[in-house]
Amino acid sequence: MVDTQFEVIVIGAGHAGCEAAYIAARIGAKTALVTLDTNSIGQMSCNPAIGGIAKGHLVREVDALGGIMGEVIDATGIQFRLLNRSRGPAVQSPRAQADRNLYRTEMRRRLATTEGLSILEGEVAEIKFIGDRVTGVELADGTVIEARTVVLTTGTFLNGLIHVGKKTFQAGRSGEPASIKLANCIRGIGFKTGRLKTGTPPRLDGRTIDYTKFAVQPGDQRPVPFSFKTDEINRPQIACFIGYTNEAVHDVIRTNLDKSPLYSGDIKGIGPRYCPSIEDKVVKFAEKSRHQIFLEPEGYNTYEIYPNGISTSMAEEVQHEFVRKIAGLENVKLLRPGYAVEYDFVDPRELFATLETKRIRGLFHAGQINGTSGYEEAAGQGIVAGINAARSALDRDAVLLDRAASYIGVMIDDLVTKGADEPYRMFTSRAEMRLSLRYDNADQRLTPLAREIGSIDDADYEAFEQRQRDIDTVKKFLSNTKVTDLGEEKLNEMNLDGSPDSYRGRKLDYLARRPDCSAEKLIEIVKAAIADKAGEKEIVVALNDIRYSGYLKDQETLARRRGRYDDLEIPGHVDFNRISGLSNEVVQKLGNVRPRTIGQAARIPGVTPAAVSILLVEMLRT
């Protein structure tokens, strides 16, 4: 007999669901993860890669909070690169190609061995609730599973509709059934829903590719891991390949646009502008004679290749035709065609910043259902929903992440405040405090919180504290050592601008702030000097802290168009209609979003500063 009594149920085992279920169990809630197919746990439906600029930041934050994605990719990555290595530390970010099968297996293995977490196979047909309080879920076979809180992570499955040319069929992913009953249940609750679209390219048989026509893109010599717990990654790395489309490819696409569901009007969902299909690229950037393609291997033991850059929903025979016009792919065999998928999402303004829905208490949404795209964005929401679902089930206080302290906080605040007009993806430019939200200091920002909520082990926390002590040691060394102590030889090597007078009498922390001072050189020097006291990672963090220290005030000025009352709470019962002096338009906007704080109200587009003042007076008098 299957256990049907839980504290938390997580529906869906994609990147949001895995994270939510794992963290909920870790902090002590008896949790069930319900999935349509246990073989698809942690499935990468699109490209086999994790991270990238801003996305890598999200993974590091998930890891710092005690999440699972970082460790799994560290264990299953086949190529690691730190992006923007030559740029500033705040915009550097790790990225890795994954072995798709290994990733799934490893994720499933870890979840299966997580104490307090049960994995159940089945289709959730209905969310059960009494009044406005969730009570559990009902499976398609009639089984009712009870829980105090439910996390819904439906990905592209809600009313999923796949397009390949003129062919359409209901599916959540290629070959997997869509969730129709659940979609009807969600709409029945009264949530405001919309349609989004995403797409994926055809998969190629690597044995039929002429790689000599492509440029090789190797991984880093020394991989930078995602998880703070990973010391080193020593697995062999596999190269990716870079090639280009050409006018012949574009001609095929142009000729067949009438068969494209995107241009015939069949697809109504809104797709992401930053990830257009190849037919979109050809139409919207007609002047470009070529578009870049990355050939990404799907793993160590497979010949399947993911051609990043040519996602498409053209008819299958058109896909064959244009792909073979690409230099090096003349004889390529397509293993599976690309497709577009349309799916339901729920307006994220239906949510509090805890990711709990405003309509149904105890029901949380995370991932693509909130109008986002990306594994990392999903994981970031999954962990917040998981934490709050568990804490709510255990009668503990909600946990909110500040947008000044994490990308996850930025993302959730953006979503619940502004909604989603297209699939939301993280960019570093979305964060006002970009200089402070670095990949290398995610633990400083979030691990103390993880400790507080009990999502990390004592040993991991001790390691974190040791790192902070080491960072302080490095900083002391930098602020106590004169630049001239480096000796003339080393200083000559550094090739600094201007005369030695510019640094005479100054300390190394001054040098660390100079734009002409090479960070690599300085790391080397510090490493040579205090190798016994701190590791390279800690040296990097210390130097990065110092590098930006002069600009933090600027950053706050920019972020502070808001003000000191940002955190002042707006009670849930406030009736904006009854506050005199607010325009109808503002009342409507406030009513739609129902901001929880003054700061959030101020960030709603169209809510004027004067309206915020009125609101503030109203809140302070009550």
Partner 1 sequence: MFSDDTIAAISTAPGRGGIGVVRLSGPASLETATSIFHAKSQAQLDQPSRAHLGRVIDPATSEIVDEVILTFFKSPHSYTGEDVVEISCHGSPIILARVLQLAIDRGARIAEPGEFTFRAFLNKRIDLAQAQAVRDVINAQTQYQARVATRQLEGELSIRLTPLKDTLVEVIVHLESSVEFVEEDISPQTASLLLTKLQLVIDALSAIADSFSFGRYLKEGFDLAIVGRPNVGKSSVFNRLIGTDRAIVTELPGTTRDALYESTSISGVPVRLIDTAGIRETTDLVESIGISRSRTAIADADISLLVLDASEPLTGDDIRLLNHVSQERRIIALNKTDLPARFDAASIPAVDGEVISISALTGDGFDLLTGKIFERLSGDAATERDDIMLTDARQHAAVRNAIEQLRDASERMRSGELEEIVLLKLRRALSALGEITGETLTEDILGQIFSTFCIGK
What whole-number distance in Å separates Cα of residue 302 and Cα of residue 304? 5
| Sign (positive or negative) of CA dihedral 571, 574, 580, 585 | positive
What whole-number distance in Å separates Cα of residue 403 and Cα of residue 430? 10
Nearer to partner 1, 14 or 52 (CB): 52
Query: At closest approach, how far in Å is the CB of 506 from partner 1?
Result: 17
Query: At closest approach, how far in Å is the CB of 182 from partner 1?
Result: 31
Which amino acid is residue 141, in one-letter code?
A: D
Query: At closest approach, how far in Å is the CB of 306 from partner 1?
Result: 11
Query: At closest approach, how far in Å is the CB of 275 from partner 1?
Result: 5
Query: At closest approach, how far in Å is the CB of 497 from partner 1?
Result: 8
Q: How far is CA 347 from the centre of its chain?
A: 18
Query: At closest approach, how far in Å is the CB of 229 from partner 1?
Result: 27
Render 387-409 in DSSP notation, one character per residue: HHHHHHHTT-------TTT-HHH
Query: At closest approach, how far in Å is the CB of 561 from partner 1?
Result: 7
Query: At closest approach, how far in Å is the CB of 19 from partner 1?
Result: 24
Query: At closest approach, how far in Å is the CB of 264 from partner 1?
Result: 21
Nearer to partner 1, 22 or 424 (CB): 424
Backbone angles phi, psi at 453, to 5 degrees: -90, 0
Nearer to partner 1, 34 or 607 (CB): 607
Residue with tokens 């492509």: 214
Nearer to partner 1, 581 or 591 (CB): 581
Nearer to partner 1, 51 or 225 (CB): 51
Distances (CA, A) of 581 to 286, 585, 586, 593, 612: 50, 11, 10, 19, 11
Which amino acid is residue 390, in one-letter code?
A: A
Query: At closest approach, how far in Å is the CB of 35 from partner 1?
Result: 29
Q: Are 413 and 403 in contact (CB under 8 A)?
A: yes
Nearer to partner 1, 2 or 620 (CB): 620
What whole-number distance in Å separates Cα of residue 169 and Cα of residue 172? 10
Helix pair angle (247-255, 316-323), 10° resolution: 160
What whole-number distance in Å separates Cα of residue 371 and Cα of residue 365? 10
Q: What residue ranges bind partner 1 (CB under 8 A)?
A: 52-54, 83-84, 87-88, 90-91, 244, 273-276, 280-281, 284-285, 288, 290-292, 294, 308-309, 311, 418, 427-430, 434-435, 497, 515-516, 547-548, 551, 554-555, 557-558, 561, 564, 580-581, 605, 608-611, 613-614, 616-617, 620-621
Nearer to partner 1, 301 or 580 (CB): 580
Nearer to partner 1, 400 or 614 (CB): 614
Q: How many residues does the chain have?
A: 622
Nearer to partner 1, 140 or 579 (CB): 579
Nearer to partner 1, 497 or 575 (CB): 497
Task: With CA atoms as reference, report the closest residue to 407 among 388, 385, 379, 369.
Answer: 379
Residue with tokens 């069949």: 266
Query: At closest approach, how far in Å is the CB of 185 from partner 1?
Result: 32
Nearer to partner 1, 131 or 515 (CB): 515
| Separation of first and last alpha carbons in the chain | 53
Query: At closest approach, how far in Å is the CB of 312 from partner 1?
Result: 12
Nearer to partner 1, 291 or 365 (CB): 291
**Strands 193-200 vs 339-346: parallel, antiparallel or unpaired:** antiparallel
Query: At closest approach, how far in Å is the CB of 517 from partner 1?
Result: 10
Residues 6+ apart with CB under 8 A from 491: 483, 484, 500
Phi-psi category of residue 419: left, alpha or beta, with phi > 0 → left and psi -120 to 50 → alpha: left
Query: At closest approach, how far in Å is the CB of 434 from partner 1?
Result: 6
Both tokens of residue 502? 């510019």
Query: At closest approach, how far in Å is the CB of 427 from partner 1?
Result: 6
| Strand arrangement, sheet containing 334-336 | 215-217, 240-244, 292-297, 304-308, 203-205, 334-336
Nearer to partner 1, 185 or 604 (CB): 604
Q: Are 111 and 119 in contact (CB under 8 A)?
A: yes
Task: With CA atoms as reference, report the closest residue to 404 among 555, 570, 546.
Answer: 555
Nearer to partner 1, 108 or 291 (CB): 291
What whole-number distance in Å separates Cα of residue 622 and Cα of residue 620? 5
Nearer to partner 1, 191 or 439 (CB): 439
Long-range pairs of 521-530 with CB within 8 A, sequence gap ≥ 24: 521/493, 521/494, 522/494, 525/486, 525/490, 526/474, 526/477, 526/478, 529/477, 529/481, 530/473, 530/474, 530/477
Q: Are 297 and 207 in contact (CB under 8 A)?
A: no
